[in-house]
Structure 1
Amino acid sequence: MMSFLIPAFCILLLALGLLLRPLFFRRQAASTSRRQMNAAIYREELEKLEQERQTGEIDTASYEMAHAELRHRLFQDTQEVDDQASFGSTKKTIVFVCLAIVLLSSGIYFYQGDALKIAEENAKQPVSQADVEKMVSEFAAKMEKDPTNLQGWAMLARSYRVMGRIPDAIKAYERAGSYINNQPELLADYADLLAANANGNFSGKPHQLIAQALKLDPNNFLALWLAGSDAFSTNQFALAVQNWEKLAKQLPPQSEEARAVMNSIAEARAKGHLAAPIAAAGKGIGGVITIAADLASRVKPDQLIMVIARKPGERMPVAVLKRPVSAFPMRFTLDDSLAMNPAALISQQSEVTIEVRISKTGMAKAEAGDLISNVQTVKVGSSNLRINVDQVQK
């Protein structure tokens, strides 16, 4: 509230200052009476008449007649009651104007209600689907009357895309023509629409649009994702990994997008039988996992064992080992081949936190009933760790 009232008060003071300035800085000439002004005017007229007589512009008879008329008019005008020009009481005027403005503005404000509350109420009113469709339809009708507005057609295409009207979006992009040729975002969006409309087939125009977008912007997010998807769909798994790894390096390590991309990279590596990145010598973690005797009977063959390493203080793992449970003690190794993000490798860390979990589902988040170990902070390069699973997740 104060953030609104203080600027409003300052604006009011400024307006009053400008409005009342003439009352504070009155000119001395304001006290001149009407009689004095009339006398000064007629004096100038008489002097002008005298000059005309001396220069011969008028004769003596005309001069005498005009002179007599001016004297008569001057006598009449100076006999009127002298109503000296005045603003009246300056203090009263200032007080009246200030009170009038303050009362008027306050009345309007309280009648209309709190401006901030009004804004909040308006913000709470969601735009309905019908409203959106109406606006887009009106925009489309406007574009039909102005078919040469290529930028407008591109905007309409994006609007149709948001609404899920893919065929209409494709047609709008077609009418946008050359406008999108130098717009990598629009080229990638157009390619995505075409591929979606063709059930994921990137051949032909989608492939060309993606290549054009990457030529303009090699780091374009959507174009890199589509390029990887295009390569994956044609079994070019190495190329898919290349594009997706370039994309992953630009994403926040702990974001959902980064996890999705890393899962796609792992799938491409598995399907293409591609070797994982080689970890720097001595830059992994290894050791043995054991389980407490009273928990051994709770382990089932269909459960998964997960070894998770994280950078201290962060939630996103730098490496995760996940495989079916086997006999204990069980050896493990974590290295860059198990990285969740190629931009955040375990070999780049000096130390990590590590924990073991035996899970029924293999979900990233621990679930009640999972068997877990304590979380340890260890030096990267350690190879003789011993981690004991001795707790049950509540």
Structure 2
Amino acid sequence: MIWLFGLALLMLAASAWYLARLPARAAAPVGRERHFQLLALRERLLAQLNELDQDTGDRSLDAAVAADERRRLEAELAHVLHELDAATDAAPKGREGPARRNRLWPPAVLTVVLALLAGGLYTFNSQAPLTYLAPPDEETLMAREGREMVRGLEKRLSREPNDSAGWALLGRSYAVLGRLEEAKSAYARAYQLAPDDRVLLADYAWFLYNQDPTNTEGLVSELYGRLYRLEPRNPHALWFLGLAAYQKGDYRKAIGYWERMLKLVPPQGNTAKELRAAIAKARAMAAGGGTPGR
């Protein structure tokens, strides 16, 4: 089962440049937007891990489902931290000096630790060549384990069709395997069963947004709007609603959402820095009467 998350890392590494980017028509620089979105994803994953701990503690979630979900979240978090570390290394360092470089090692260490915990990628000799771990011309063990896990979950859901947490996990698993239409159907089923589940709303909305980052209307807007109504201080809902307002040219509304989000994040962190940059851009657009780039 643990190999599914190794597969997640490999697949996400190949597709993260598209799935994590903000809409191309936004006016802010692409590199900054991508970094900002990775930071937002990191905060979402940390929040989900915290909520999973609470659900596990009060036994409101099946233990097997909770264990699978923890491994998935930790593996995805490890990947996001690696992406952030790589992006920071690639950024110009002329004006930022050693202080910023000294902040790079904690994410790097955490990335390695989480990868070990989540994927079991070092079960084999750490010096083994990549071609041994994942032969390019044959079905790999991690792919087989992933499909077996999904088949087992499908069978369980055929017996327990009203398990919203199971459907949500199946949707995430399908997404990792690239079975996007099936993922969409599984998420829709989970949403039908638990429309007020805030973790599900955030996950489902994020999945839909990643399928078409240029679209901030329709179902994805409905989901984030519902999440916002259930939890007005949810940073992911505030980020998306601000983005949607920005794309529509309603800069003052975007500023309002993002300023509220700014109060919820560590003031000296990278997320706050990127938010302040986005707010400054929106203010400049509002003052100049500009429209988002297309």
State the TM-score, normalizing by the size of structure 1: 0.35
Greater C-alpha Rg: 1
User: Which structure's residues are more often strand, by fraction?
Assistant: 1
User: Which structure's residues are more often helix, by fraction?
Assistant: 2
